[in-house]
Structure 1
Amino acid sequence: MVESTSGTEWITPAAFHQAPGVTDWRVTATGPQAVFTATSLSQAAGLVAPTVAAAELFGVLPDVDVRPEGVVVRIPDRSFDGIPAAAAGFAAAVSEAAAELGLTADPSLVQSVGIYVAQHSQADARPFFLAALGYDPLGDTDAVDPLRSGPQLAFNPIAGDAPSRGRTHFDVFVPADHARARVDAALAVGGRLVDDSHAPDWWSLASPENHGVDIAAWPDTDG
């Protein structure tokens, strides 16, 4: 556990998963997340009030996405400092409330999608994307939707790449225990394995038309 100068305590994904009552949850690049399936919008909405109560109790600021098919609860990473230590207690409280409401957790539905913008080592494309998308800066290299509803963007140089030739690929962050199945599904419909030297942290794939996608599981296991 790490304590910042502001007094906030942070934990790693591994420490989060070791906490009691969080088996419904997985960690993606945007923080811990759980998906609880529902049979109606009203059933899904029933989890909102308990989630708000748990958020106030534990001092956590979650994102809650309610749909007729279910509800997604995220503990967003707002600073790259890590996971708030209080997130584990919050997550356990939300899972307990979901079970009482008859909502079923489905970790296979947990994911976050990011766009990796590769650029020349002397270029900085982030100001353009901030302006065009109405995003906010996040850290030194990323950009985020102010409401965290759109994909997060990361900007990193490729040394020696040709100027004025931007390249992008998708980063798809999924639970570690579902990553291999996601890779296999993409390969089964014509995808190509580009690089698995970093597996099981991530696999680099390409579509039949050579669009790049990384299936990444490392945020869920980082110690």
Structure 2
Amino acid sequence: MGPLASRGDLGHAEVMTETMRHGVAQEAVGAAGWRVLLSEIHTYVPTGSYTRGLELVNDIARLAEDAGHHPDVTLRYAGVHVRLTSHDIGDLTQRDVDLALAITAAVRARGLETRIEQLAVTEIAIDALDIPGVLPFWQAALRYQADGYDTLVDPLGLGPSVWFQQMDAPRPERSTFHLDVTVPHDLVADRLAAVLRAGGTLLSDERAPAFWVLADPEGNEACLCTWQDRSTA
């Protein structure tokens, strides 16, 4: 099951459109089992069966309709993933916090619990000298939608987004592709240690805790990212 509902979250929530700083949002929802990833808050609820998951999704649907604010919900056999953001402003607001807390209450009322261990958002980053020149190729190949000047997104909300990073000069000594993996801020140290134990090399921690640049044994790069130390923190 894909997104429960999506972009038209205006209506009775219009009065609460002020952007919430990500650190404030994280503090508000952390104990309820949610984590800030990029400009969204996420949680995962193991249900153990499709039927229990569907019952929870129905609870979430009722809460969303009452609030006039709608999360993206993915139902799978073993559990339910929920992500919240205020689509009309492209960031977090009090609406997201309020609905997250209401969803957690519904989760607990069913004897379930929110979990954060596997939460992550993956993006594909492509370094390019001429972003307008290369972006249409990838848009056509993926059937993605343009989101601003330098980002492509899956219109179904299923695949990773692709963003293009401006290069000043060719870099033949390194790949122009890498993955950005955004994980919960309080779990990134464990993830970083696991990557290093698995043969990874830390190339740079200059921008940590926003991101760490790592490479596999053949030099292919990935960044581990968090919401921290960014302009919206």
Task: Return the TM-score normalized by structure 2.
Answer: 0.84
Return the match for 1:127 from 126, 132, 136.
136
CA contact (8 A) 1:121 1:161 kept: no
Q: 1:39 to 1:82 in 2, by over 3 A?
A: same
The answer as to whether partners of 1:115 and 1:170 remain within 8 angstroms in 2 is yes
Q: Which residue does the alignment assign to 2:93?
A: 84
Aligned residue number for residue 106 of structure 1: 115
SS in 2 for 1:176: coil
Give the aligned partner of residue 165 of structure 2.
Answer: 156
Q: Are 1:167 and 2:176 an aligned pair?
A: yes
- Decide whether aligned partners of structure 1 residues 124 and 59 sit closer, same or farther in structure 2, where only a CA change above 3 A counts: farther
Greater share of residues in strand: 1
Q: Structure 1 residues 17, 123: CA separation in 2 closer, same or farther (over 3 Å shift)?
A: closer
2:203 aligned to 173, 190, 194, which one?
194
The secondary structure found in structure 1 opposite 2:97 is helix
- Following TM superposition, the consecutive aligned residue runs of length 4 or more in structure 1 with deviations greater than 4 angstroms are 76-80, 219-222
Aligned length: 218
After TM superposition, give the deviation of residue 145 of structure 1 in Å. Answer: 0.3
8 Å contact from structure 2 (residues 209, 229) kept in 1: no
Report percent identity of matched pairs: 30
Aligned residue in 1 for 2:187? 178
Q: Tell me which moved more, 53-62 or 172-181.
A: 53-62
Counterpart of 1:69?
Answer: 78
Asked if the contact 2:67–2:99 (Cα under 8 Å) also holds between the matched residues in 1, the reply is: yes
Q: Match of 1:49?
A: 58
Structure 2: gaps (5+ residues): 1-13
Structure 1: segments with no counterpart, 5+ residues: none
Q: Name the CA distance, whole Å, in 2 between partners of 1:122 and 1:20.
A: 37
1:212-223 mapped onto 2 (5 Å cutoff): 212-218=221-227, 222-223=232-233
**Whole-angstrom distance in 2 between the partners of 1:69 and 1:116:** 30
Q: Shift of residue 168 of structure 1?
A: 0.9
Deviation at 1:125, TM superposition (A): 1.7
The alignment's TM-score, normalised by the length of structure 1, stands at 0.87
User: What is the alpha-carbon root mean square deviation over aligned residues?
Assistant: 2.6
